[in-house]
Structure 1
Amino acid sequence: MRRLGLTLAVLAVGATVLTACSKNTGGPTDHATHAAQTSAVDADPAHSRGPAKPVPGARRGGTLYALQEQDFEHLDPQNVYIADAESVGQLLSRSLTTYREDGSGKLTLVGDLATGPGTDVDHDCRVWRYTLKPGLRYEDGSAITAADVAYGVARSFSPDVNHGPHYIQQWLVGSMDYNAKYKGPYDGGAALPPGVTVQGARQLTFRFPKPACDMPFAGAWGTTAPVPRSKDGKPLALDTHPFSSGPYKIAKYTRGTELDLVRNTYWDPRTDPIRHDYPDRVVTQIGATDVQQSQRILASRGTDAATVARANVPAELTPVVQRNAGARKRVVTGITPYVSYLNINTERVTSLAERQAIEYAFNRRGYLQAAGGDTAGEPATTIESPLAIGYHRYDAYPGGTSGDPAKAKQLLGGRHPKLVYAFTNTELGQKQATVVQQSLARAGFSVVLRPVDKSSYYHQVGLRHAGYDIFVTQWGADWPSGSTIIPPLFDGRAMDANGSWVWLDRDDINTSIDRISAESAAKAGADWAKLDEHIMRAYAPVVPIYYTRSYSLVGDKVGGVFLSAFVGAPVYYNAYVRA
């Protein structure tokens, strides 16, 4: 969640140097590693126009393949919220705004369908106006209109189309319970959502009861993807065949097996600031495990030479990749927006000293080694990811990456508290549970292990009375700001409705969230970072374990694939296939 709200003149939002993402400009050695990252909003209309800058060495033609183990949960743009669907969705659906990035470390918000990031009409973040570019077309050649964008937002209010982000919907009605009254355009509902008006074919306006300074960032999600009402039909129909506004369209989709994309000939690159359509086809093959994906692309035989692995290289194959000079050049790697946390249920572990003892005792290095070592991530000490605007590194409990059991024992004062640890009942989950149990036992905790089925894990650990004291989750920011990290995790006023991982409700946190949420992005970035540190020092509700890293392979004929700091996964809109 992010913060933005100013006069969009030339707005530089938190040009903070961050650690960062991978890059790939298309050469065989360009799937590289760290670079400095800056985040900004670019209100220069010229930078929202197309065509996108050519990728060095790129050629048109060929078929790009991608391997992933599970099918897409959703392809309907208003339902997309998972990284694999986001990567493919960028080829099928456009939104009001988007991020211009090439893996070099610079993440810049620009207009996608819109001529720019948006106009803050009254300079108070309550009224945002967008004008669509001329010449925008769907896959059948029909024009994309402002009414279609408004209808896309409208359908995101439906209880049947509720898997995507809810920011814009909540802001429009001024409530977390965004569809209590308006439930979308189905069953006689209005085609326009509350607070949205359309002026002609190319302009629409959002009116919010409270400041919504992050609207330009939220506009980059599929919530604002255009959907013509005539192509919508049933609420779930677009999950298998979204009506394309991007450079590719669906030729064939066999669920559980394959998704085959071909060019959308009506997409005009002159309107698009980020995308290319170099491959003739982009084919996602479904079913290969992480081991199978890496083994196939390591060999790079036949079509596997033109293939991208969606899964990270598993721990057992990492040494093989690192010993192979050719394979190392084909790794796409970098820090993602996700952070792994050990959550502490503060309603069960009520003693601050006990929670601080957990902080000092925890063995981050051991937990990370079980996950795959340095290729899986970097030890964390902050709630925010290093990719967040205004990120500030600190260590509230400096026990080192392996922990400080002596300091933890001192805090416990001879007590031996019992902790119930929930973990996913998988081979990896069991390994990591052993690390957690042993590291906390060194300090005097008695840790009881409770396995939870992987399919229901996140649901179970979010229940208030599930009986778990500690458990691990990951959280990824929806755009690089503390506003999509701190409020959803630590706003105690929302936890009864939305569940919680820490069950912490404190007036000082809630008041700070309200104050910072009304600030411009330029100010809010640093203030979210300050609140991050305050929460950790004052309440110790989580142990940040590691900042996650992507570490996946591409075939030796693949160019242009890079790790997106927005998606947190490899993206394809610069990709090409070498002859």
Structure 2
Amino acid sequence: MSRTSLRPLPMTSRCRTTSTGRALPTAYYREGNTVKRRTGVAVASVAALALVLAGCAKGSTPGTSGSTGGKSGFNAATEGVVNPSDKKGGTLKFASSSDIDSWDPARAYYAWAWNMQRFYIRTLVAPQAKPGKEGLKLVNDLAQSQDISSDGLTYTYKLKSGLKYEDGSTIKSEDIKYGIERVFAQDVLSGGPTYLSDQLDQGQNYPGPYKDTDPKKLGLKSVETPDDNTIIFHLKSAFADFPYLLAMGGAAPVPAAKDKGDKYADHPISSGPYMFKSIEPGKKVVLVRNSNWDQSTDPIRKALPDEIDLTLGMDPNEIDSELLDGTLDIDTGQTGVQAAAQAKILTNPDYKKNADEPTTGFIRYIAISTKVPPFDNIHCRLAVQYATDKVSLQTVRGGPDAGGAIGTSMLPPNINGYDQNLAPFTGKTGQPDLAKAKDELTNCGKPNGFTTVIAARNKGKEPKVAFRSTIGSPDNVHKKGYGLMNAGWGADFPTGYGFLDVLVDGDKILPSGNNNYEELNDPAIQSLIKQATAATDPDKAAKLWGQINAKVMDTASLLPYVYDK
């Protein structure tokens, strides 16, 4: 039996998680899947949520321990490395029920795509290969050294010597710059994160390399490459999380001569230990060793198997069956086993000792619009907060064991700045306070309750398209009167900024593709965000994000209910 992870219910959405417990926006909604409930009091409306809120796929994550021992048993892999080995050879067999979004590192945003990138790309820095919170720390990958100016505006990296692509050519600093420039070409290479272009454009309106008038297509002014082994980044303002952006796939080196634009995903050029032997979209992908990768330059990857085979489009139950009989090693989707397999695992001691039930870093929450009446009145939002039965919502997701712990604030436990004592409204138990809910209904002028519209993801073949056309558009939210919006979230990188900023920053409210669903734009929060973003001391930044988290809860515009497993 291969080691497996559990989950409460079978899921259908194409949600995204990452290799370090981070994850991406997961609330995809389908037009028409809204529920109206006329209520005598808000209590009935929120209780109905337990019946209509659909689940979303979860991702596996390291635990909180830094142990690397070989301890086995249930949940052992949440605490350390199980059955560690240095033996080389063989084939690692992966499977996925769906295709990847893109093999182009600039376009990929599925978490399992980011995990797969570790095989074929390298970046200046990368998360170290250790379990638990140690795996959230960045270490040098392509970089030999990093130097940050005292004002936090200039980052200088020196490359290691002996770095090669799969064809034997040398990896140069200008290749890293060119790879980053590709992120700017959203007209050609859309789909991936745009943090790098957000930080480095600085008013230049750089169009990306395909429209670059520079002869070498290296016209981005904020990035210098004075020699083949040096790259310098100039920031407009201090941003302590900048190295995390350089660990993303969009910062991987791409030699300009090998770039094929939107066809680059057909065969990305490897800078890592494996390279593509074949890619059959929707069917199968095979990676083999890159003979020009030098283990002595790479402290992160052991690269033990000779080959990696990925089968795409497998039935989820078939994946579970092959995991249980040992003919398959890993389900790349990281969503855990289906209900039938879960029952087998929990009732069979031999299976259970090889299973884990990790906390993911995901949070399930309800965004309460600050613009749609009656929720433009904070007291109506408070009524919902006090009335919510989080235990019922937790039960829908599988209960405390399979579903997750009660969510008490918008920062999950794996993010620095989380405060276990911050548990407003329903406390740590998640039990509603109906008396206070009724008081707040009176305070908001709705003593007999009100009607609202709940937006919740249902099964859909085009969840991403549906998402963009519904709660991701503030105009549409206003037009449809979406008062309560069920959502899930996890960080692109494991800091307060990486998790919370896009959800609560008033400057990030967008006309489409918006993630600040509640349209929160609070002056006190905005001031704290500016301080936290500029803080170069991680401990100070974490403290500020903790304050932001508390302020956000004070607005009653976001209602966390489960920290996912």
1:320 aligns to what?
344
Query: What displacement does 1:364 show?
Result: 2.4
SS in structure 1 of the partner of residue 143 of structure 2:
coil
**In the TM superposition, what whole-angstrom CA distance separates every residue of 1:131-171 from its partner, at most 9, and x where no partner exists?**
11111111111110101001101111101223222222211
Q: How far does residue 292 in structure 1 lie from its aligned partner after superposition?
A: 2.7
Matched, 1:271 2:269: no
Partner in structure 2 of residue 60 of structure 1 = 88
CA deviations 1:172-212 (Å, max 9, x no partner) are: 2236xxxx721111134442222001021110100112112
In structure 1, the partner of 2:415 is: 388
Which aligned runs of 4 or more in structure 1 are off by greater than 4 angstroms?
Answer: 21-28, 33-36
CA contact (8 A) 2:239 2:535 kept: no
After superposition, what is the alpha-carbon deviation per residue over 1:34-91, rounded to whole angstroms, capped at 9, x for unaligned? 559xxxxxxxxxxxxxxxx998333211111112111000111112221110111110
Q: CA deviation at 1:33?
A: 5.6
Q: Which amino acid aligns with 1:194?
A: K
Q: Work out whether 1:110 is the aligned partner of 2:139.
A: yes
- CA deviation after TM superposition for structure 1 residue 396, in Å: 1.4
Structure 2 residue 523 is the aligned partner of structure 1 residue 507: yes
- Please state whether the residue corresponding to 1:205 is helix, strand or coil: strand
- Residue 479 (str. 1) matches residue 493 (str. 2): yes
Alignment equivalent of 1:20, drawn from 35, 39, 64: 64
1:515 counterpart SS class: helix
2:100 matches 1:69: no
Report Cα offsets for 1:470-522 as digits up to 9, x if no partner: 12111211221111233211111231455331112221111221121111222
1:22-61 equivalences under 5 Å are 29=73, 32=76, 35=79, 56-61=84-89
Distance 1:518 1:187, change over 3 A: closer
1:24–1:295: structure 2 CA closer, same or farther, 3 Å change rule?
farther
1:296 maps to which of 322, 334, 357: 322
Letter in 1 for 2:114: E
Q: Compute the displacement of 1:218 (Å).
A: 1.4
Pair 1:391–1:469, CA change in 2 (3 A): same
Matched, 1:280 2:306: yes
- Distance change (3 Å), C-alpha of 1:82 and 1:24: farther
Which residue number corresponds to residue 197 of structure 1?
A: 224
CA distance in 1 between partners of 2:200 and 2:453 (Å): 41
- Match of 1:148, SS? helix
Q: 1:167 aligns with which of 178, 184, 195?
A: 195
Write the mapping of 1:367-516 to structure 2, written as runs, cut at 5 A: 367-373=393-399, 374-393=401-420, 394-399=422-427, 400-413=429-442, 414-426=447-459, 454-459=463-468, 460-464=470-474, 465-466=476-477, 467=480, 468-497=482-511, 499=514, 500-516=516-532
> Contact 2:63–2:132 (CA<8 Å) still a contact in 1?
no
Q: Is the 8 A contact 2:417 2:546 kept in 1?
A: yes
Amino acid at match of 2:471: V
RMSD after superposition: 2.5
* Cα distance between partner residues in 1 of 2:167 and 2:519: 50
1:35–1:105 Cα contact (<8 Å) kept: no
Query: Structure 1 residues 452, 75: CA separation in 2 closer, same or farther (over 3 Å shift)?
Result: closer
Instruction: Map 1:137-152; keep pairs closer than 5 Å.
Output: 137-152=164-179
Unaligned runs of 5+ in 1: 1-17, 37-52, 427-450, 550-579
Describe the shift of the 1:20–1:314 C-alpha distance in structure 2 as closer, same or farther (beyond 3 A).
farther
Gap change, CA 1:120 and 1:65, over 3 Å in 2: same
Q: Does the Cα contact within 8 Å between 2:175 and 2:253 map onto a contact in 1?
A: yes
Question: How much does 1:27 deviate?
Answer: 6.3
Secondary structure, counterpart of 2:211 in structure 1: coil
* Inter-CA distance 341–246: structure 2 relative to 1 (3 Å threshold): same
| Paired residue secondary structure (1:250) | strand
State whether residues 294 and 309 of structure 1, in contact with CA within 8 Å, keep that contact through their aligned partners in structure 2: no
Return the offset for 1:458.
Answer: 2.2
CA deviations 1:540-563 (Å, max 9, x no partner) are 1111121222xxxxxxxxxxxxxx
* 1:398 CA drift (Å): 2.5
Residue 286 of structure 1, CA deviation: 1.0
Pick which of 20-29 and 344-353 moved more. 20-29
Question: Contact 1:74 / 1:240 at 8 angstroms: preserved in 2?
Answer: no
Asked if structure 1 preserves the Cα contact closer than 8 Å seen for 2:74 and 2:352, the reply is no
Report matched runs for 1:534-549 at 5 Å.
534-537=551-554, 539-549=555-565
1:136 aligns to 2:163 (yes or no)? yes
Q: Normalising by the residue count of structure 1, what TM-score does the alignment of the two structures yield?
A: 0.78
Provide closer, same or farther for how the CA distance between residues 111 and 259 of structure 1 changes in structure 2, counting only shifts above 3 A: same
The one-letter amino acid paired with 1:543 is: L
Report the alpha carbon displacement of residue 406 of structure 1 after superposing the two structures with TM. 3.6
Contact 2:200 2:222 in 1 (8 A): yes
- The amino acid that maps onto 1:319 is A
- Where in structure 2 are the equivalents of 1:136-285 lying within 5 Å? 136-159=163-186, 160-174=188-202, 181-190=205-214, 191-192=217-218, 193-233=220-260, 235-285=261-311
Cα distance in 1 for partners of 2:337, 2:195 equals 34
1:206-257 deviation line (CA, Å, top 9, x unaligned): 0112112222121111121000001002x21222211100111111111001
Once residues 367 and 201 of structure 1 are traced to their aligned partners in structure 2, the CA distance between those partners, rounded to angstroms, is 55
Q: Tell me, what secondary structure is at the counterpart of 2:517?
A: coil
Cα distance change, pair 532–295 in 1 and its aligned pair in 2 (3 A): same
Corresponding residue to 1:529 among 528, 546, 558: 546
| Aligned-partner SS, 2:362 | strand
**Conserved in 2, the CA contact under 8 Å of 1:378 and 1:548?**
yes
CA distance in 2, matches of 1:55, 1:263: 23
Distance 1:380 1:79 in 2: 32
Q: Distance in 2 between matches of 1:24 and 1:327?
A: 22
Per-residue CA deviation, residues 260-282 of structure 1 (Å, 9 max, x unaligned), is 11111111111112112111111
Deviations 1:341-386 (A, max 9, x none): 1111110111212211212222323223222332232221111121
Sequence identity, in percent?
Answer: 28
Structure 2 CA distance, aligned partners of 1:238 and 1:368? 43
Letter in structure 2 aligned against 1:386: P
Q: List aligned pairs for 1:332-343, cutoff 5 A.
A: 332-343=356-367
Q: Can you list the C-alpha shifts for 1:75-112, whole angstroms capped at 9, x where unaligned?
A: 11112221110111110111111111322442321111
The answer for unaligned runs of 5 or more in structure 2 is 1-61
Q: Secondary structure at the match of 1:337?
A: coil
* Segment of structure 1 superposing worse, 374-383 or 194-203: 374-383
Equivalent residue number for residue 369 of structure 2:
345
Q: 1:32 corresponds to which letter in structure 2?
A: A
SS of 2:456's partner is strand
